[in-house]
Structures are given as C-alpha cells and as structure tokens.
Amino acid sequence: MPNPPKEDNIFDYIICGGGMSGLSLAYQLSISKLSNKKILIIDPERKSKNDRTWAFWEKSDNPFDEILYKKWNKVKIIDSHKKEKIYELGQYRYKLLRGIDFYNFVNAHLEKYPNIIFKIDAVKEIRDKSGYVEVLTKTNEYYKAQYAFDSTFQLDLKNNKNQNLLQHFKGLEIETQEDLFKSDIPEMMNFGIPQKDAECRFMYVLPFSKNRAIFEFTVFSEKLLTEKEYNESLFEYIEKDLKLTDYKILEEEFGVIPMSDTETEEFVSERIIRIGTAGGATNPATGYTFSNTQKKLKKIVKTLEKEDSKFESESFWQKRHQLYASTLLNVIKEKRHPMAEVFDQLFAKNSISTVFKFLDGESSFIEELKIMWSTPKVKFGKAFFSVILRKIKNSFF
C-alpha cells in the first residue's frame, strides 16, 4: 500500500460497487441514525440504463415501494399440463421495480447528502488492517475507512466441488395494438411450455398495462442457450400459443444469475462485509436477490447503529435452508426428476404463502417437512444424501 491517505481520502464507510446492493446500502444508511457518516461509493460506472427489472415478493414495505412500477396481490401459475390457477397472495405482494427507476431515485436522493461521495473508479484491493480498512483502486487512489462493504467480489462458479448452475433468461417487452392483457394478474410461472430433458424451463408474463407486458423465457441449467434458442421459445409462445401477431418489441433483457451452492461469506473479517450476490443474498434455488438484500442490509445498518457494532453470522440451524437449496440444485443437475413436475406438486400441495416463506428462509421446521413431503421423496432423498456425502468428501480433500 502507498503512503497514508490524505484527509479527503478518509471515510467512515466505503461501499465497493454502486449497483443494486451498494446503492441500497447507501440509501438505507442515509435514512438511518448514521446519515451524517462520511461514505464513499466506488464503481467504474454510474448506472443510468434500464439494465434489469426486479420482480420479488414481500410481506413488508421496503424503502423503494414508492417507485415500484407495478404491485400485484394475486398471481397466476400455470402447471406443466397447462392448468391455470390464480393465487391470492394474502399478506404478500408481488412487486416489480425497474432498474432505471431505482438508479435515478437513489442517485437523486444521495445528491442531497454532501457527505456521500461517488467516485468513478475500480476497486483493486480491500484489506482489513485491524482497526481500519484500506481500499486501493485501479487509478492508484488509496482510501481508509472504518468499514468496507464489498459487492464486487466474484463468487467461484467454476469450482466443481460445488454445484454450479445458472438461471438464464431472455425477456421481451412488447406492446400490442389491442388491449389483450389482464394488468391485475401477472403470470408468475408458466411451466406449460416445451421442457428439455429434466431441465427447468418456464415463461413468465408481467403485464404493465392492458397492452404492454414483458415476456421472459427462463431456464435453470448448467449451460446457456444460443440466441436462436431463446428467441424460438419466446416467439413460439407469443405467436403460436398466444396467437399475437400485431405487436411491437419495445425493449429486450438478457440476464444470468448464479444458482450455486458455493460457500459465501458475508462477514469476511471484522471490517470487511460482503453485500448483495457477493454476500450470499442470492437464493441459489431461485435466483431471487432483491428483497433478501434489503433485509440483510437493514440488519447491517441496525448493527452499525449500535455502539459495539458486532455482526452476527447465521447460525448452523438458520443455514439449513442452504442445504435445501443444494438438494434442489442436485435434483436439477443430476436430472433426477422433471423440474416442472416438482413445481407442479409444490404449488398444488402447499399454500403460496408457505412456499414464499420457505424460499425466504422464514418457514418453520413443520412447514419445511410439509414442503419436503410434497416433492418426489425418494429422488429428493437421494439428492439430499448425495449433497451430504459431497460435503463430507469436500471437508477431507
């Protein structure tokens, strides 16, 4: 590390990466008791494009509710036999937030805080020096702070000791001439599309209005498809299944989210904390990240507000949900059972609130047993033991 930093380069907190989790943390800090802390956000770019749209369910309010693009109190799920069912969400809401609305809202809000600074740069190294942290950037700037929050750390998705799958999707936002969509009911998952092997494929349709909707073709598998394959599935659904011809494409989205049981560490050291996907906020079984990130950040801010600021990792018992996710990944990876049928059973035999609670890691053990009972037991049992065996093997070699 170079010489000690100049006064301007000393902060209370440094946020490495100004994407979803970095900006959310800055926002949550700014509305907390810590709003006067000197905060630096470092990212090579200031986000200004609609690069993603977040869909997520939530029971409670979150700080970004006022900029939601849509919010629904019921969803439709179509099973692999094309049977439709509408689910009332009870206390939950299915929410949609566009990336661009989030970035614009948070950036405009943070501009009101002269103590929160954004630097266009790339983080090269973060070091816990016991008592403070050092952050070195690509342009050789050197910063010092009490804590560093890191969303730039890349998970190891190549190590074959772990199960590394991908959730990949292509979406088209389309506008039709006529009013064709029921804007009050999104199609959260439609498994009634051609499945390949035992891979998991589904379509979802989120209507923004009566004539505008996003169609997203999603696959859980080890490898990405070709551009042609994504397009074929999308157009087959739009033009053959729904028989839509008079429409125009407004926007396209492509994304890949890791579905991996690679170990993630939230509290890397006393003063380096990983956030967002880097900090394990992505549910390996579903790819959902947004609401879990907000929950984790809320806890972090609450801890920082306390004088002793002692961060607590999840207990072994709380981590059982990772074991369930690993089991599901094993079923997909080893093609033990067609996933569309697994989801059919999951939604047919459990209330949607129980499924949401389970996926959020907030279910009781009794509810978890009920969920497990609704899956193909022998195949999931084999997957579970295979996961345990692999864990034992990994701990020796």
Ligand X SMILES: Cc1cc2nc3c(=O)[nH]c(=O)nc-3n(C[C@H](O)[C@H](O)[C@H](O)COP(=O)(O)OP(=O)(O)OC[C@H]3O[C@@H](n4cnc5c(N)ncnc54)[C@H](O)[C@@H]3O)c2cc1C
d(CA 64, CA 20): 12
Q: Is 106 in the site for ligand X (CB under 6 A)?
A: no
Q: Is 165 in the site for ligand X (CB under 6 A)?
A: no
Number of residues that bind ligand X (CB under 6 A): 28
d(CA 108, CA 127): 31
Q: Is 255 in the site for ligand X (CB under 6 A)?
A: yes
CA distances from residue 215 to 69, 191, 230, 292, 376 in whole angstroms, order as listed:
16, 14, 12, 24, 30
Q: How far is the CB of 381 from ligand X (least distance, A)?
A: 30
Q: Is 203 in the site for ligand X (CB under 6 A)?
A: no
Sign of the CA dihedral with 107 first, then 110, 112, and 116 last? negative
Q: Is 258 in the site for ligand X (CB under 6 A)?
A: no
Using CB under 6 A as the criterion, what x/- string covers residues 55-84 for binding ligand X? xx----------------------------
Greatest Cα pair distance in the chain:
67
**CB-wise, 45 or 179, nearer to ligand X?**
45
Residue ranges in 123-142 that form contacts with ligand X under rule CB under 6 A? 123
Q: Is 110 in the site for ligand X (CB under 6 A)?
A: no
Q: Can you give the three-state secondary structure of 146-200, one letter per residue?
A: CEEEECCCCCCCCCCCCCEEEEEEEEEEEEECCCCCCCCCCEEEECCCCCCCCCE
Phi-psi region of 73 (alpha: psi -120 to 50; beta: other; left: phi over 0): alpha
Q: Is 230 in the site for ligand X (CB under 6 A)?
A: no
Using CB under 6 A as the criterion, what x/- string covers residues 263-302 for binding ligand X? -------------xxx---------xxx------------
**CB-wise, 277 or 354, nearer to ligand X?**
277
Which DSSP state fits 306?
Answer: S
CB-closest chain residue to ligand X: 19
Question: Residue 223's CB: how many other CB atoms inside 10 A?
Answer: 9
**CB-wise, 289 or 386, nearer to ligand X?**
289
| Residue in this structure with the two tokens 């492509």, named with its chain if needed | 254
Q: Is 163 in the site for ligand X (CB under 6 A)?
A: no
Q: How far is the CB of 240 from ligand X (least distance, A)?
A: 26
d(CA 117, CA 111): 9
Residues in contact with ligand X by CB under 6 A are 16-22, 42-45, 52, 54-56, 122-123, 151-152, 253, 255, 257, 276-278, 288-290
